Structure 1
Amino acid sequence: MAGAISDFSANEVPSLCSRLGLRTGDRDESFKSKFKYAERRLFEKSAAELIPIAVRLLEEVDSYNLSEALAKLQETGQATVTELTRRRIMALFDKRPYSTEFEEIDFIRRIWPTGRMLSVFENVATEQTLDDDLFNAIVRNNDWNNRETLEAVGYLTCSQRQFFRFLEEVTSPLTQSREVQAELAAAVNEHLRHDGCQLIIIRRLSGSPVYEVRPAIVGSPADDAISQALAAFDTDTVHARWIQALDRRDADAEGAITLARTLLEDVCKWIIFEAGESYEEKDDLPVLYRKLAKILNLAPDGHTEPVFKQILGSCQSVVESLGSLRNKIGDAHSPGPKKVKPASRHAQLAVNLSGTMATFLVSTWATNKKG
């Protein structure tokens, strides 16, 4: 903060400090050392008193360093995303670009003011900035990988506000193609949820979701159990679909209902394929489930015990109802003028039922394979 104040002229520093609520002084003291003039007065204030001073100072200067220092002060005592989670999310970009729509350096510039940040190298020209470093390392020489670039801009140590800005920008529809955006948001949320945060859809831009980091809505213990079962079965497709459904369950009811059905379709197709049987691409969920029920011996007609016939018949009804619900109020078809708009409770019901059924099918298949 003293550095930002000392950027003003010696004549201006006393009046600036006065406007900020700091102890007044004379110009002679300021002319001796602007930095020390400000530092002495700042040391007289508590951390709590420094926050409104920094806010007022930012109204007069544009300083990334000061903005970061203020954000970290304001975040003191709050729940934070750990360095481990930041590193896990950073690892998502080890084998993928930050953006499908921007060059790497242009994407970084959208988040960090690299032209006003100091070079990370010692013994370089004083006018060299971090932007010069990035241009040399990314554009000219291709020396840095994505991990090294993020470390250079301070990704691991920046304020949580700045970290969230990165997450929201990297999952923006302006930054990613539609296919990559949904998959990346789900992958980020898989790590964020451990620290009580999640990316949720807050609005749409030309039909594409716009995400914002918010405190995670605490789910049920069943969510974790289902996640573990589906991750063990297939991480890349089935588990990713489940995470996407969870992410949308409270913020995008129509999308969540569509994903609930798609999750069951994925599970049915995977097990049918692993069983060496076949299906048609045109097969809808009820048809897929009937084929799978024969493979897993889940058809009600295959059992004589009344209670099992009733339970398995109910399972079949759940699957058929999920397909019907998705057709009626999901986002897979044109809404039309009379379409019912689902509430979050409808999405919760659909996603929870789908996850439970998917887990049951996966577990049954695992048991059958063991003989």
Structure 2
Amino acid sequence: MINELRNLLASAIADVKAYDVPALCRRLNLGDGEEQEAFASKYKYAQRRLADVSADQVVASARQLLSEQEHFKLVEQLTKIDELNGSPVTTLTRRRLITLFDHLPLAREIEDMDFIRGLWPIASLRAPHPSTEATFEDYLHRHTVRNDDLSNRDVLEALGVLTCSRAQLFKLLAALTSPEVRSAPEQVELAEKIDALLRHDGYTLSQAGRISGSPFYAVRPFPTGSPADESISATLAAFDPTQVHARWTMALERRASEPAGAITLARTLLEDVCKWILDQAGETWHEADDLPVLYRKLAKVLKLAPDDHTEQVFKQILGSCQSVVESLGALRNKLSDAHSPGPKRARPQARHAELAVNLAGAMATFLVATWEARQTVQAVPRSTSPTLIEPKQ
């Protein structure tokens, strides 16, 4: 990457007048030389001096040049170097993103050429080899306007979407879902599809605000878990490391990639916990019992029914817990993969799965903790009154 940066920097230096090259190299902290050498070859003049400096100096010189003039490819290369420590967006994900536009225009509300001009300086970029056009703009005009012989896939790949910096990719994705480019419901549907693909690589395309009543989107790092995930995992692993904890782990893994499956696992996790505690308590249950029935049986064992308490605040909290369990069952029936979706069934999104899994994990932890607390209390022997010793007669 540094070698490519050296070549791009030498090319950028060579864009200035030959008599200005030595002075520019001095400002960039590169070696000095004579004008005659620069007149022979500006590029070779810069390349010789760049070959003698460290990688850090090459980066510093590139940044200095960019403070004086614009150079798109140089910015891109520096950005890629800056992004080395971050999570990459894989070529596979980029190809999947490009595939979304096989049957979808890049823009609806504006011309594709105007859309591309807002993201790439195509008027100053060279046309891809072996094209005979002078600029990338001429190349696109010939093959997308005069002749319709380039697909959107061809255009995006020619622009470098498979290899561009994450910053440029994210700028493109934000623009593709802008309300100035397409309107709802297509805008929202496209944003959800892009978001689902990005989450595999640790990013999310989420709403960043609204403009004139319409949402606009931006790419951000996607949190891989919540602070509660580790706490819930530890509790469920200690309770049952095979079935219950395994179910929780699978639900976590599928929150982003398989929302419907994660919602199914969220309900099954609570069913598992209820059955296990009922078994340990010596209570009976039937295979036909659904989650609300199992929870009501367990609530009696653990004294979690609202009527078991006199304090209004506890009655409200425990009543809400019961509502959460019933709602999880309803959400699973509506949005999970447990039944045929049918043509009009709502499609679950990652945010629905995250809500369901997090709620199920919190409730499962609460039930386990309550059961263990009651077991601890029962294990403590009750204190007895001291025996009165009668005095000897």
**TM-score (normalised: structure 1):** 0.63
Query: Does residue 205 of structure 1 match 2:219?
Result: no
User: Which AA in structure 1 matches 2:356?
Assistant: N
- Deviations 1:41-62 (CA, angstroms, capped at 9, x unpaired): 1112222221221111112222
Equivalent residue for 1:81, pick from 79, 89, 92 = 89
Structure 1 residues 298, 73: CA separation in 2 closer, same or farther (over 3 Å shift)?
A: closer
- 1:77 is displaced (CA, Å) by 3.9
Structure 1 residues 27, 4: CA separation in 2 closer, same or farther (over 3 Å shift)?
A: same
Equivalent residue for 2:190, pick from 184, 195, 199 = 184
Structure 1 residues 217, 304: CA separation in 2 closer, same or farther (over 3 Å shift)?
A: closer
Q: Count residues in correspondence.
A: 270
- 1:147 is displaced (CA, Å) by 0.4
Query: Does residue 352 of structure 1 match 2:368?
Result: no
> Which protein shows a greater Rg?
2
Structure 1 residues 216, 230: CA separation in 2 closer, same or farther (over 3 Å shift)?
A: closer
Q: Percent identity?
A: 41
- Partner Cα separation in structure 1 for residue 31 and residue 352 of structure 2: 57
Equivalent residue for 2:324, pick from 318, 321, 325 = 318
- Deviations 1:192-229 (CA, angstroms, capped at 9, x unpaired): 11211112333322233332222111135534345566
Equivalent residue for 2:177, pick from 171, 190, 213 = 171
Kept in 2: contact 1:51–1:74 (CA 8 A): no
The answer for the alignment partner of 2:117 in structure 1 is 109
- Partner Cα separation in structure 1 for residue 195 and residue 149 of structure 2: 30
Equivalent residue for 1:11, pick from 19, 28, 47 = 19
The answer for the alignment partner of 1:122 in structure 2 is 130
The answer for the alignment partner of 1:25 in structure 2 is 33
The answer for the alignment partner of 2:381 in structure 1 is none
**TM-score (normalised: structure 2):** 0.60
- Partner Cα separation in structure 2 for residue 350 and residue 76 of structure 1: 29
What is the RMSD of the two structures over their aligned residues, measured on CA atoms? 3.6
Structure 2 unmatched ranges of 5 or more = 1-8, 230-248, 265-287, 306-318, 329-350, 362-393
Kept in 1: contact 2:206–2:219 (CA 8 A): yes
Structure 1 residues 229, 93: CA separation in 2 closer, same or farther (over 3 Å shift)?
A: closer
- Deviations 1:61-97 (CA, angstroms, capped at 9, x unpaired): 2221222222222223432111111111111111211
Equivalent residue for 2:253, pick from 215, 224, 245 = 224
Structure 1 residues 103, 223: CA separation in 2 closer, same or farther (over 3 Å shift)?
A: farther
Matches for 1:22-101 after TM superposition, within 5 Å:
22-101=30-109
- Partner Cα separation in structure 2 for residue 208 and residue 304 of structure 1: 42
User: Which AA in structure 1 matches 2:204?
Assistant: Q
Structure 1 residues 225, 194: CA separation in 2 closer, same or farther (over 3 Å shift)?
A: closer
Structure 1 residues 356, 93: CA separation in 2 closer, same or farther (over 3 Å shift)?
A: farther
- Partner Cα separation in structure 2 for residue 303 and residue 6 of structure 1: 76
- Deviations 1:152-173 (CA, angstroms, capped at 9, x unpaired): 1111121222111111211222
The structure 1 segments of at least 4 consecutive aligned residues displaced by more than 6 Å after TM superposition are: 302-305, 308-316, 319-322, 347-350
Structure 1 unmatched ranges of 5 or more = 240-295, 323-346, 358-371
- Deviations 1:101-121 (CA, angstroms, capped at 9, x unpaired): 222222222111111111124
User: Which AA in structure 1 matches 2:144?
Assistant: I
